[in-house]
Chains A and B, each alone.
Chain A
């Protein structure tokens, strides 16, 4: 029987509230591509990605048409390249990044992630080479994304890696200075990185994952925002209930897409990631959801509490809607990719310090934040250390994706175009953390008992 109201509600979400599937990401194991010299390794990487993902684009386009729902991004994630390339003995892994880039272009996907290393406890020789290769690899490719995991709740924080990443972020900004330092938009530094994240720039196919898997990232800030307009002035109990119900609907759609894609690609279904991922489009903003809850501007006092409610309700609603939930699952707060956050940052209400507080209750971290080009590497490393500490102690994923935009100062902005959006340059504290970062070594893992 037809339920016209439900059908029209869904059509309205699709037409006016920016409801979409943010990404279908195919994870591909590349461990069997290791061995031989770096060029042989790169050839095998290219061949395997193309073989596994050749049907990804036609299949997802077919699902888009049949269901009438946009699938905004089609992506590939691969085994952390530090594990794949180190058998080659080469000093620079850029040839593998270039092979990934070519494969992504052949398959017609938007991004490919996994130029990555997991160094929370220490560096292997291969990890160190990969980290040093990042600036050149990101400068010489278009679609490759890199990530480095520098800490975890179980292992603590590798402060040598934190210091190195401060330097690498700066070097990447310099290597792509002619393009607004866009290389940094494709580089994430994690604590507690997850192995099945479908979202970029931090996606990689973790070593605990199967040969191949399809992970789906849903979206839907616009739908939540629109639903909340119906409960203005009501209590938070009603707000939480409404967000849960809305997240349920959004996730059910993600589950349907994931199951259909998995069947048609002949690849196991991995997870649905329940993230509320904003875009720069008006009406698709996480900041505007927080403001709809009663805040004059995102970043005002109360923002952290509002985000905590949103993040939790999204998970509770989504969990029941999908057989397998994973990835990052929560609300994202990438500044340059969120129209409301851009406005709040320009107004000076949303600051890096407030964003840091918000990351203790949201699903990731300091994301797509542009800072002055002359910010010292040690200051960037110290920001990474703070963020990693929040993740380590609170047993959650945190990440840093900072763009020290070359030649830019507070008041300027950098435009990356597309989903990466526009980033106003935000001030950071000028006081030095150089002596703190110079110590190096390891911050021990936190205690997990005596919690009183």
Chain B
């Protein structure tokens, strides 16, 4: 399943590395990535594919939320469908 991972946080060194490590451990493949600093907030959006992972979407979501909290990052994952539905005819 294609999904969007979004990360918001206070900027610091190693955020991309931290998030990618968690995803790699779960065998979630990163297809595309965009990162910027908006109004001083680290903002990252990733397109990922969960089909390569043995975990369910629910398990991936829980892991990202919990590990994100432990690293002081606001991470969420949503099915890509919602963004396609809202912005494409």
Contacts and interface: CB of A to CB of B under 8 A. Distances in A.
Interface of A: 1-4, 6-11, 62, 65-69, 249, 252-253, 255-256
Given A2-B34, A4-B34, A8-B43, A249 B81 contact: no
Interface string B61-89: 10000000000000011110111011100
Contacts of B85: 252-253, 255-256
Contact of B57 (A10, A66, A252): A66
Contact of A253 (B43, B47, B76, B82): B82
Interface residues of B, number: 24
Contact of B82 (A4, A9, A62, A67): A67
A249 B87 contact: yes
A62 B86 CA distance: 20
B24 to A, nearest CB: 19
A67 B77 CA distance: 8
B4 interface: yes
A3 B87 contact: yes
A2 B86 contact: no
Contact of B86 (A1, A4, A66, A252): A252
A67 B81 contact: yes
A9 B85 CA distance: 13
Given A2-B47, A4-B45, A7-B4, A66 B79 contact: yes
A218 B50 CA distance: 29
Given A2-B32, A65-B61, A252-B85, A8 B45 contact: yes
Contact of A68 (B32, B47, B76): B76
The A contact surface, by secondary structure, is helix
Contacts of B77: 68
B81 A256 contact: yes
Interface centre among B6, B34, B82 (most CB of A within 10 A): B82
Nearest to B87: A6
Interface of B: 4, 6, 32-34, 36, 38, 43, 45-47, 57-58, 61, 76-79, 81-83, 85-87
Contacts of B43: 8
B83 A7 contact: yes
A6 B32 CA distance: 15
B82 A68 contact: yes
Contacts of A65: 57-58, 61
B51 to A, nearest CB: 14
Given A10-B83, A255-B85, A2 B45 contact: yes
Contacts of A4: 34, 36, 45
B83 A6 contact: yes
B86 A68 contact: no
Contacts of B83: 3, 6-7, 10
Q: What are the 7 A-B residue pairs with the smallest beta carbon separation, nearest first?
A: A68-B78, A6-B87, A256-B85, A252-B85, A4-B34, A67-B82, A249-B86
A1 B82 contact: no
Contacts of A1: 32
Contacts of A66: 57, 61, 78-79
B65 to A, nearest CB: 10
Nearest to B46: A2
A10 B87 contact: yes
Contacts of B46: 2
B81 A7 contact: no
Contacts of B47: 2
22 contacts: A2-B47, A3-B83, A4-B36, A4-B45, A7-B6, A7-B45, A8-B38, A8-B43, A10-B83, A11-B6, A65-B57, A65-B61, A66-B61, A66-B79, A67-B78, A67-B81, A68-B76, A68-B77, A68-B78, A252-B85, A253-B82, A253-B86
Interface centre among A3, A6, A7, A256 (most CB of B within 10 A): A7
A67 B87 CA distance: 15
A249 B6 CA distance: 20
Nearest to B34: A4
Contacts of B6: 7, 11
Nearest to A69: B82
B82 to A, nearest CB: 5
Nearest to A254: B85
